[in-house]
Protein backbone atom coordinates (compact mmCIF):
# COMPACT_ATOMS: atom_id res chain seq x y z
CA UNK A 1 0.00 0.00 0.00
CA UNK A 2 1.28 3.45 -0.90
CA UNK A 3 0.48 6.45 1.29
CA UNK A 4 1.71 9.88 0.24
CA UNK A 5 1.78 12.91 2.51
CA UNK A 6 1.77 16.17 0.64
CA UNK A 7 0.71 19.76 0.24
CA UNK A 8 2.15 22.45 -1.98
CA UNK A 9 2.31 24.77 1.04
CA UNK A 10 5.56 24.62 2.98
CA UNK A 11 5.37 24.43 6.76
CA UNK A 12 2.18 22.37 6.80
CA UNK A 13 3.84 19.74 8.98
CA UNK A 14 4.28 16.99 6.36
CA UNK A 15 7.55 15.61 7.69
CA UNK A 16 6.42 15.49 11.32
CA UNK A 17 3.13 13.87 10.28
CA UNK A 18 5.10 11.27 8.30
CA UNK A 19 7.11 10.35 11.41
CA UNK A 20 3.99 10.23 13.59
CA UNK A 21 2.17 7.97 11.14
CA UNK A 22 5.16 5.65 10.67
CA UNK A 23 5.56 5.36 14.44
CA UNK A 24 1.83 4.68 14.87
CA UNK A 25 1.77 1.96 12.23
CA UNK A 26 4.88 0.18 13.52
CA UNK A 27 4.51 0.64 17.29
CA UNK A 28 0.72 0.51 17.71
CA UNK A 29 -0.44 -1.56 14.72
CA UNK A 30 2.76 -3.67 14.33
CA UNK A 31 2.91 -3.16 10.57
CA UNK A 32 5.89 -3.30 8.23
CA UNK A 33 6.65 0.23 7.03
CA UNK A 34 9.19 1.90 4.76
CA UNK A 35 9.42 5.69 4.55
CA UNK A 36 10.73 7.40 1.42
CA UNK A 37 11.88 10.97 2.04
CA UNK A 38 11.42 12.93 -1.20
CA UNK A 39 11.27 16.35 0.42
CA UNK A 40 14.04 18.72 -0.67
CA UNK A 41 15.43 19.15 2.85
CA UNK A 42 15.35 15.38 3.47
CA UNK A 43 15.21 16.08 7.19
CA UNK A 44 13.69 12.66 7.92
CA UNK A 45 16.52 10.81 6.17
CA UNK A 46 19.04 12.91 8.08
CA UNK A 47 17.35 12.06 11.38
CA UNK A 48 17.41 8.40 10.46
CA UNK A 49 21.13 8.46 9.60
CA UNK A 50 21.95 10.21 12.89
CA UNK A 51 19.89 7.63 14.77
CA UNK A 52 21.78 4.82 13.02
CA UNK A 53 25.08 6.34 14.14
CA UNK A 54 23.72 6.40 17.69
CA UNK A 55 22.49 2.80 17.19
CA UNK A 56 18.86 3.86 17.73
CA UNK A 57 17.49 3.82 14.16
CA UNK A 58 13.89 2.96 15.08
CA UNK A 59 11.43 0.41 13.75
CA UNK A 60 11.46 1.16 10.02
CA UNK A 61 13.82 2.29 7.30
CA UNK A 62 13.87 5.81 5.87
CA UNK A 63 15.28 6.15 2.36
CA UNK A 64 16.31 9.45 0.79
CA UNK A 65 15.25 9.56 -2.87
CA UNK A 66 14.22 11.93 -5.66
CA UNK A 67 11.00 11.83 -7.63
CA UNK A 68 12.89 10.33 -10.57
CA UNK A 69 13.69 7.24 -8.48
CA UNK A 70 10.06 6.42 -7.71
CA UNK A 71 9.08 4.14 -10.65
CA UNK A 72 11.92 1.67 -10.08
CA UNK A 73 11.53 1.71 -6.28
CA UNK A 74 7.78 1.21 -6.49
CA UNK A 75 8.20 -1.82 -8.74
CA UNK A 76 10.10 -3.49 -5.91
CA UNK A 77 8.14 -2.18 -2.93
CA UNK A 78 4.68 -2.89 -4.39
CA UNK A 79 5.20 -6.65 -4.54
CA UNK A 80 3.72 -7.06 -1.06
CA UNK A 81 0.28 -5.62 -0.22
CA UNK A 82 1.04 -6.06 3.48
CA UNK A 83 3.98 -3.68 3.18
CA UNK A 84 3.04 -0.03 3.78
CA UNK A 85 5.14 2.63 2.02
CA UNK A 86 4.87 6.25 3.15
CA UNK A 87 6.26 9.05 1.00
CA UNK A 88 6.99 12.55 2.30
CA UNK A 89 6.58 14.65 -0.85
CA UNK A 90 8.36 17.88 -1.79
CA UNK A 91 6.25 21.03 -1.45
CA UNK A 92 5.72 21.70 -5.14
CA UNK A 93 3.50 20.80 -8.08
CA UNK A 94 5.60 21.83 -11.08
CA UNK A 95 7.48 18.56 -11.59
CA UNK A 96 6.32 15.81 -13.96
CA UNK A 97 7.97 13.33 -11.58
CA UNK A 98 4.94 13.76 -9.32
CA UNK A 99 2.62 12.18 -11.91
CA UNK A 100 3.57 8.50 -11.32
CA UNK A 101 3.62 9.10 -7.54
CA UNK A 102 0.13 10.62 -7.58
CA UNK A 103 -1.14 7.92 -9.95
CA UNK A 104 0.09 5.07 -7.73
CA UNK A 105 -1.13 6.41 -4.38
CA UNK A 106 -3.76 4.40 -2.53
CA UNK A 107 -4.16 7.10 0.12
CA UNK A 108 -3.16 10.77 0.20
CA UNK A 109 -2.91 12.62 3.51
CA UNK A 110 -2.87 16.40 3.21
CA UNK A 111 -2.06 18.41 6.35
CA UNK A 112 -3.28 22.00 6.23
CA UNK A 113 -4.05 25.02 8.36
CA UNK A 114 -7.07 27.31 8.19
CA UNK A 115 -5.27 30.43 6.97
CA UNK A 116 -5.92 31.79 3.49
CA UNK A 117 -2.53 30.92 1.99
CA UNK A 118 -2.67 27.33 3.20
CA UNK A 119 -6.23 26.96 1.92
CA UNK A 120 -5.37 28.17 -1.59
CA UNK A 121 -2.36 25.84 -1.80
CA UNK A 122 -4.39 22.93 -0.45
CA UNK A 123 -7.15 23.40 -3.01
CA UNK A 124 -4.63 23.59 -5.86
CA UNK A 125 -2.91 20.44 -4.62
CA UNK A 126 -6.29 18.67 -4.43
CA UNK A 127 -7.35 19.71 -7.94
CA UNK A 128 -4.08 18.46 -9.47
CA UNK A 129 -4.17 15.22 -7.48
CA UNK A 130 -7.76 14.40 -8.42
CA UNK A 131 -7.07 15.09 -12.09
CA UNK A 132 -4.19 12.59 -12.04
CA UNK A 133 -5.74 10.05 -9.66
CA UNK A 134 -9.54 10.43 -9.57
CA UNK A 135 -10.08 7.24 -7.55
CA UNK A 136 -7.41 7.92 -4.92
CA UNK A 137 -8.60 8.52 -1.36
CA UNK A 138 -7.78 12.02 -0.14
CA UNK A 139 -7.88 12.85 3.57
CA UNK A 140 -7.30 16.36 4.95
CA UNK A 141 -5.79 16.77 8.41
CA UNK A 142 -6.15 20.16 10.16
CA UNK A 143 -2.66 20.39 11.61
CA UNK A 144 -0.94 22.53 14.25
CA UNK A 145 -4.27 24.03 15.25
CA UNK A 146 -3.78 26.55 18.05
CA UNK A 147 -6.33 26.31 20.82
CA UNK A 148 -6.27 30.05 21.62
CA UNK A 149 -6.92 31.19 18.04
CA UNK A 150 -10.37 31.68 16.55
CA UNK A 151 -10.54 30.46 12.97
CA UNK A 152 -13.37 32.45 11.39
CA UNK A 153 -12.90 30.75 8.04
CA UNK A 154 -12.81 27.17 9.39
CA UNK A 155 -16.38 26.24 8.38
CA UNK A 156 -15.97 27.65 4.87
CA UNK A 157 -12.60 25.96 4.40
CA UNK A 158 -13.97 22.59 5.50
CA UNK A 159 -17.00 22.97 3.22
CA UNK A 160 -14.76 23.52 0.20
CA UNK A 161 -12.26 20.77 1.04
CA UNK A 162 -15.02 18.23 1.68
CA UNK A 163 -15.72 18.34 -2.06
CA UNK A 164 -12.37 16.59 -2.60
CA UNK A 165 -12.14 14.23 0.37
CA UNK A 166 -12.68 13.61 4.07
CA UNK A 167 -11.54 15.90 6.87
CA UNK A 168 -10.28 14.44 10.14
CA UNK A 169 -10.45 15.79 13.64
CA UNK A 170 -7.82 18.51 14.17
CA UNK A 171 -4.36 17.91 15.55
CA UNK A 172 -3.64 20.66 18.06
CA UNK A 173 -0.27 22.39 18.22
CA UNK A 174 2.03 21.00 20.93
CA UNK A 175 5.65 21.66 21.81
CA UNK A 176 6.13 17.91 22.26
CA UNK A 177 5.90 17.37 18.50
CA UNK A 178 9.51 18.56 18.36
CA UNK A 179 10.54 15.52 20.43
CA UNK A 180 9.15 13.02 17.92
CA UNK A 181 11.87 10.98 16.23
CA UNK A 182 12.29 7.78 14.23
CA UNK A 183 12.19 5.63 17.37
CA UNK A 184 9.31 7.02 19.39
CA UNK A 185 6.40 9.41 19.74
CA UNK A 186 6.09 11.13 23.15
CA UNK A 187 3.22 9.55 25.07
CA UNK A 188 1.83 13.02 25.78
CA UNK A 189 0.90 13.25 22.08
CA UNK A 190 -1.11 10.03 21.95
CA UNK A 191 -4.42 11.62 23.05
CA UNK A 192 -3.99 14.14 20.21
CA UNK A 193 -3.01 11.84 17.35
CA UNK A 194 -4.66 8.49 18.14
CA UNK A 195 -8.25 9.60 17.33
CA UNK A 196 -7.05 10.85 13.93
CA UNK A 197 -4.84 7.89 13.04
CA UNK A 198 -7.24 5.24 14.37
CA UNK A 199 -9.96 6.58 12.09
CA UNK A 200 -7.66 6.75 9.06
CA UNK A 201 -6.45 3.21 9.77
CA UNK A 202 -9.97 1.81 10.08
CA UNK A 203 -11.27 3.61 6.99
CA UNK A 204 -8.38 3.23 4.58
CA UNK A 205 -5.51 0.99 5.73
CA UNK A 206 -6.78 -2.02 7.66
CA UNK A 207 -8.59 -3.68 4.76
CA UNK A 208 -6.49 -2.27 1.91
CA UNK A 209 -3.20 -3.45 3.40
CA UNK A 210 -4.18 -6.60 5.33
CA UNK A 211 -2.10 -7.84 8.20
CA UNK A 212 0.08 -10.75 7.00
CA 212/CA 210 separation, integer angstroms = 6
> 78 or 26, which is more confident?
26
pLDDT bracket for residue 144 (50, 70, 90) = confident
The rounded Cα 131 to chain-centroid distance in angstroms is 20
Three-state DSSP state, 62: strand
Please list the alpha-helical segments (H only) found in 24-178.
43-53, 70-77, 98-104, 116-132, 154-161
> 82 or 109, which is more confident?
109
pLDDT bracket for residue 4 (50, 70, 90) = very high
Report DSSP state, residue 163: T
pLDDT reported for residue 150: 63
pTM: 0.93
* pLDDT over 90 at 152, yes or no: no
Angle, helices 154-161 vs 116-132, to 10°: value is 10
pLDDT bracket for residue 92 (50, 70, 90) = confident
Count of helix runs (H) and strand runs (E) in the chain: 7, 8
Amino acid sequence: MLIIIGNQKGGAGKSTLTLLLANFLTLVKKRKVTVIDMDYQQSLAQKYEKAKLAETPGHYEIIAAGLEHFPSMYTVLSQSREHIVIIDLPGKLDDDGLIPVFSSADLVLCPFSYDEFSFDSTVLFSVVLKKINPSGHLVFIPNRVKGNVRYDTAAEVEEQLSKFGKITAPISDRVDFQRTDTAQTPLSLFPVIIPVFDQIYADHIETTAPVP
